[in-house]
A = this chain, B = another copy of it.
Amino acid sequence: MSRPLLDSLLTKLKAASDLDSDDLRAIASLPIRTRHLDPHEFIVKEGDRTHECCLIADGFAFRSKATWQGQTQILSLHVPGEIPDLHSLHLELMDHDLKALSRCTLGFIPHAAIKSLNANRPRVAAALWRETLVDASIFREWMFNIGSRVGVTRMAHLLAELNRRLEVIGMAKNGVFDLPITQVELGECLGLTGVHVNRVLKQLRAEGLVRTSRSVFELLDIDLMEERGEFDPDYLHLPAFALS
């Protein structure tokens, strides 16, 4: 009766919000349909009206929008334990795309099930609401990052953020994490071109802050990298125990 699909979500919710064992049990018994996706497969498209939310059990996903000329902006990166389209519960229309970044395993949960859970268990509703608020906080920080920092700093900030977020779920250790993302995609996160991302990474490498090989990133001095990116983890709203 264990449901590994939901484990990462349960751990996270329990750490951030106060839920009793009935609440947790109720979440754990939500109906879930599992699906495997290939890199860059669409999960949901802009303009869609969905009737379920997707929980990332394994792998990475991202949200994005494209300009009329086809330039794309990545709005967020999502890691296991997150529900990147939780907002669809209350917003009818998708205002952006959601795609798999890497090969990944997703659990789809019907809106109806979550809604009835919310109606009966205000604490669960509050915990899920909180997740969407953390999301929004990260959007704000990304906007801030893109709007007011130069390329090198921007990249340092992103790497520092990813390191922290992956660390709390055990997917980064000592500044080392594996994220299958191309330089062009990094550019789409940061409002930079792929070419410029390359130069910016070269700069950070030259400063001795990072090593990259294939899809693994190795922050050689986490504190320095965070400093370089003017990174302050407050906006991630991590539970106290997860802070250095």
Residues on A facing B (Cβ under 8 Å): 17, 47, 63, 65, 67-68, 71-73, 75, 87, 90-93, 95-96, 118-119, 122, 125-126, 129-130, 132-137, 139-144, 146-149, 190-191, 230, 234-235, 237
Contact = CB atoms under 8 A, between A and B. Distances in A.
Contacts of A73: 143-144, 147-148
A146 B191 contact: yes
A139 B119 CA distance: 28
A67 B118 CA distance: 38
15 contacts: A47-B234, A67-B148, A67-B230, A87-B136, A87-B137, A90-B133, A93-B234, A93-B237, A95-B234, A95-B235, A96-B140, A122-B125, A125-B126, A136-B136, A148-B191
A132 B134 contact: no
Given A75-B144, A125-B129, 10 more contacts: A65-B140, A65-B141, A67-B148, A90-B129, A91-B130, A91-B137, A92-B237, A119-B122, A143-B146, A146-B191
Contact of A90 (B130, B144, B191): B130
Copies of this chain in the oligomer: 2
Contacts of A235: 95
A231 to B, nearest CB: 10
A95 B140 contact: yes
A142 to B, nearest CB: 6
A75 B143 contact: yes
Contacts of A191: 146-148
Given A119-B122, A230-B67, A95 B146 contact: no
Nearest to A116: B122
Contact of A118 (B93, B126, B143): B126
A133 B125 CA distance: 14
Contacts of A126: 90, 118, 125
A122 B63 CA distance: 28
B65 A133 contact: no
Contacts of A190: 147
Contacts of A237: 91-93, 95
A124 to B, nearest CB: 11
